[in-house]
Structure formats: C-alpha cells, structure tokens
Structure 1
C-alpha cells in the first residue's frame, strides 16, 4: 500500500488538479475545468493512505452510489490510471456526445464502439462485429471479453 506522501506525489503529476486542505488532516484535489457539476477528483486523502477518487459512471470501476471508489490499496499504476480516467470522464460533456470509444485487450486487439442511429456498434477495423441497444450493454460485453477502454474518444 502506498503511503500518503507517495499518493500525493502521484497526484502531483496531474497539474490540472488543485490541492485543497479539508478537516482532520485530509486533502481534496479539484479539477476546476470539469464539465460536470462534480469538481472533486480525489476526496479525503488521509495521512493513513485512505482516500477516494471520483469515477462517476465509468463501467470499468465499481463505484459507490456517489461515484467514488476507495484507493487505499491501490498500486502506483492503478492510482495514476484511475486519476487519468477520472479527469478524462470529467472532461466530457455530460449532455452526451455520441459514443466513440476505443477498447483494447491484453493481446493488443483494438475495437471501436460507435453510436450510430441509436445503436452502439462495435467495429474491428472497418468490419462491424456486434451491435447493442445501449452503451452499458456494450460496455458489459467488452469488459467480460477482457477489453479495457483506451484514451481518446469521448469517455
């Protein structure tokens, strides 16, 4: 488990976050450029290493009802990834652009999920692989098949 200083050093790699001290020795980090109502990315980071990151409704994380996940046991790589994902999520228009996402598995296979005419189509290159009735249905399928979202798109 990373200690408080190690977690702060990782969070410090994100210059778009602003550090704000809160009660009982805890620290929050805000993303002031958020396009959502929510601006807190890291909440209640404590000297004991406990804290939370806002991931909203990102399908690859199991968040609480307020959209936060606990980062107490996260590795450096996991913490850096979740913060990058949170910032990307908060940088998207919550009103909703059409879905256009890139997903990749461990073998390096890349699939593209695109919203087209009310359907969520999954492409391998130019070939249509599968169609879904909702983005959530497509996300569940992709996660079950070992794919993870990549940077870019409108996530």
Structure 2
C-alpha cells in the first residue's frame, strides 16, 4: 500500500486537478473543467492512506452508491490509471463517450439517420430534424414503428 505522501505525489502529477484541503488532514482533488456537476476526482484522501476516486462514469470498476472506488490498496500504476480514466470520463460528453450514427431505410429506400448529440438522440432526414428522443430505445422504437430498419 502506498503511503499518504506517495499517493499525493502520484495525484499531483495530474496538472488538471486542483487540491482542496479539508478537515482532519484529508484532501480532495477537483477537476474544474468537468462537463458534469461532478468535479471531485479524488475524495477524502486521508493521512492513513485511505481515499476514494470517482469512477461512476467508467465501466469495469465496482463502485459504491456515490460512484466511488476505494483506493487504499492501489499501487502507483493502478492509481494513475483510475485517475486518468476518471478525468477523461468527466471531460467527454455522453455523445463523445458513446457515439451513435446509424442509417435506417424503409421499403421505399427512404433513409433517416439516427445520431447521438449531447444528451439525446436525434433522427434526421438529410438536414431536417424528424424527431428527438431521450434514449436510444425510444428513437429505435419510433423508427421501427415508421417502417424503418437499421442498416
């Protein structure tokens, strides 16, 4: 297990993080350029070496209900990796993380394009917006009901 000082040294390698000292000698590190309300990447790093990193937007990490991963037993490389992934997850929009651009055709060879933009899904006929949806499932259901099939 890395000491508090060793963990601080690794975390401070990330110039995009801003240190915020909190109570009882603990430290938070914020990512001020986050595209989300969430800005704390490293949470409550304690002088005993315990602390958390936000991984709520990253797949393959077991998180608590706040999206945090305990980093008490992480080595330097593991700590760098999860911090980089956390920062990247907060720096990319949903459309950048999971892009969607699909062409759908009907039996008359008319084409519509389904695209993910920002936090929604949009259906276009050329430049004309045909519909906007909150989820991929809603958009796909609309297209299917209108007689379109994904290519």
C-alpha change, 1:116 and 1:39, in structure 2 (3 Å) is same
C-alpha change, 1:54 and 1:116, in structure 2 (3 Å) is same
Task: Kindly report which structure 2 residues correspond to 1:30-69, keeping only aligned pairs within 5 A, or say none.
Answer: 30-69=30-69
> Higher relative contact order at CA 8 Å, sep ≥6: structure 1 or structure 2?
1
Tell me the CA shift for residue 57 of structure 1: 3.0
Tell me the CA shift for residue 61 of structure 1: 0.7
Runs of 4+ in 1 over 3 A off after TM superposition: none
Task: Kindly report which structure 2 residues correspond to 1:1-155, keeping only aligned pairs within 5 A, or say none.
Answer: 1-93=1-93, 96-97=94-95, 99=97, 115-117=100-102
**Distance in 1 between the 2:9 and 2:15 partners?**
11
Aligned residue-pair number: 106
Gaps of 5+ in 2: 103-113, 115-135, 138-151
Larger Rg: 2
TM-score with structure 2 setting the length: 0.65
Gaps of 5+ in 1: 101-113, 119-132, 135-155
